[in-house]
Each structure stands twice: as structure tokens, then as C-alpha cells.
Chain A
Amino acid sequence: AQKVTQAQTEISVVEKEDVTLDCVYETRDTTYYLFWYKQPPSGELVFLIRRNSFDEQNEISGRYSWNFQKSTSSFNFTITASQVVDSAVYFCALSEDGTSGSRLTFGEGTQLTVNP
């Protein structure tokens, strides 16, 4: 069975600080995909990134970066120089390959508050 754990329930930082959101996953599959979604106060789910299990290269997109380590089953997300607009709930999610309609399993989410 697949499982995603986001141990940090809430994080509060001051603007311009760097912040890392942790994500640990469990799966028996060798092929799987990891995702991060942002849920702003308005409630929609905004896709941020997808990473497959065979690609452990770190990725950077502007102020966002992701660190995927299979050895520790972690897929952590760092926001550099945080801004107030980054305040949201962030969800890590996992999908296992092999089925045609692959479900996403979400973590509990981390509420990030960036204070001015």
C-alpha cells in the first residue's frame, strides 16, 4: 500500500526566509511518481511538480527546488526567499504505476504561513 507522510503540520516563517517542506513516502512499486500541489486559501489545487522514481536529479524552478532521495524515500520541497504569496497548504502526493486509472495518495499537508 502507498503512503505519504508530511510530518510538519504548520510552518511559520518571515518573508525572505528559506523554508523546506518534508515529504516521506512508502511504496512497494519500483515505478512511481511523486507530486507536489499547492492549495492557496481560495481552495483550488495547483500542480507544482511531478518526478518519476528513476530520476533522482534535483530540480529547480525559480524560487522552488525539490530534493528527491530514494535512499531515504523522501521528496522535500524548498522555497527560497519566501514571499507572503507563498502562504498556502502544500501537499505531497504519490502515484504508483501499473494501473490505468492511477490514484493519487496525498499526505496530510503542511500549512505554510509567510509573515511580512
Chain B
Amino acid sequence: EPEVTQTPSHQVTQMGQEVILRCVPISNHLYFYWYRQILGQKVEFLVSFYNNEISEKSEIFDDQFSVERPDGSNFTLKIRSTKLEDSAMYFCASSGRGGARNEQFFGPGTRLTVL
């Protein structure tokens, strides 16, 4: 069964460093998402991406964040200068079509720890 994969599973970085979280969505999917879950809290939407551009972003997704689909398979989230409060689990998701009716398939997540 096709699945969303994410690497690395755990990333530790120093405050102020740049990190890139990688995701490989399901191969025939066209819509991609990033969500964040601070430890013990709810899952929060960051950004959605379609046709090589951002469809929607939340207030969390400020200028330090960026997303990219550098090739036909990867979807990345870059945090330019990490802060302590960026420590969280980051989930990538993809769906075959847009719209609320279509299930978003989640990856296993990348746990980011900022020291």
C-alpha cells in the first residue's frame, strides 16, 4: 500500500540553524501539506501546496518557513533560523485531489528538537 514517507525521523539542531525536513508524498498525489504538533498539543495546519505554489498558509507559517517541491518526488519544509519554540513533530500529508472531501494521508512525522 502506498504511503507518505518522511526523513529524518528525528532531527536535533542548534537554535539559529537552518533545517530542511523532507517528505515523499504518495506518487500520484497532487496536493501536499505540512502540519505541526508541539509535544502534548493538538495538530496544527501550516501550509498546503498545489501546482508548485502555496494554496493556503496559516498564521504560524511566517517568513522563516518555506516549502518546495524540488523534483518530482520530494516535498520539503525549510526553517531558516530555528527557534526553541519550533521544537515539535512535523507531519507531511498528501491527497490525490483537492477539496475537503479527499482524505489526507499522513507520514510518520519528523521530530524536530531545537537546543
| A, B from the same assembly | yes
Tell whether B33 is near chain A: CB-to-CB under 8 Å.
yes
Q: A50-B103, A97-B100 given as contacts; is B109 within 8 A of A106 (CB)?
A: no
Interface majority SS on B: helix, strand, loop or mixed? strand
List residues of chain A with CB within 8 A of the CB of B65.
none
* B18–chain A nearest beta-carbon distance, Å: 24
Q: Contact residue range for chain B?
A: 20 to 34
> A108 to B44, alpha carbons, bound, how many Å?
10
Question: B17: CB under 8 A from chain A?
Answer: no
- Are the CB atoms of A101 and B50 closer together than 8 Å? yes
A16-24, A39-47, A63-71, A73-81 - interface stretch: A39-47
B42 near A91 with CB under 8 A, answer: yes
Tell me which residues across on chain A come within 8 A of B106, comparing CB atoms.
Answer: 37, 44-45, 47
Contacts of A100 in B (CB 8 A): 31, 48, 50, 55, 98-99
Q: In this assembly, does A99 line the interface, its C-beta being within 8 Å of a C-beta of chain B?
A: yes
Closest partner residue, chain A, to B106 (CB atom): A45
Query: A-B contact count, CB below 8 Å?
Result: 75
Hey, what's the 0/1 contact readout for B40-55 against A, CB within 8 Å counting as 1?
A: 0111110011100001
CB-CB < 8 A to A35: which residues of B?
103
Decide: B108 and A101 in contact? CB cutoff 8 A: no
**Is B13's beta carbon under 8 Å from chain A?**
no
Closest-by-CB residue of A relative to B55 is: A101
8 Å CB contact of B91 from A45, A95, A102: A45
Residues in A with CB closer than 8 Å to B108 are: 43-44
Q: Is B81 an interface residue (CB 8 A)?
A: no
Chain A residues within CB distance 8 Å of chain B = 31-33, 35, 37, 43-45, 47, 50, 52, 91, 93, 95-109
Chain B residues close to A by CB (< 8 Å): 31, 33, 35, 41-45, 48-50, 55-56, 58, 89, 91, 98-101, 103-109, 111
- The 3 A-B pairs at the shortest CB distance, nearest first, are namely A101-B48, A101-B55, A95-B100
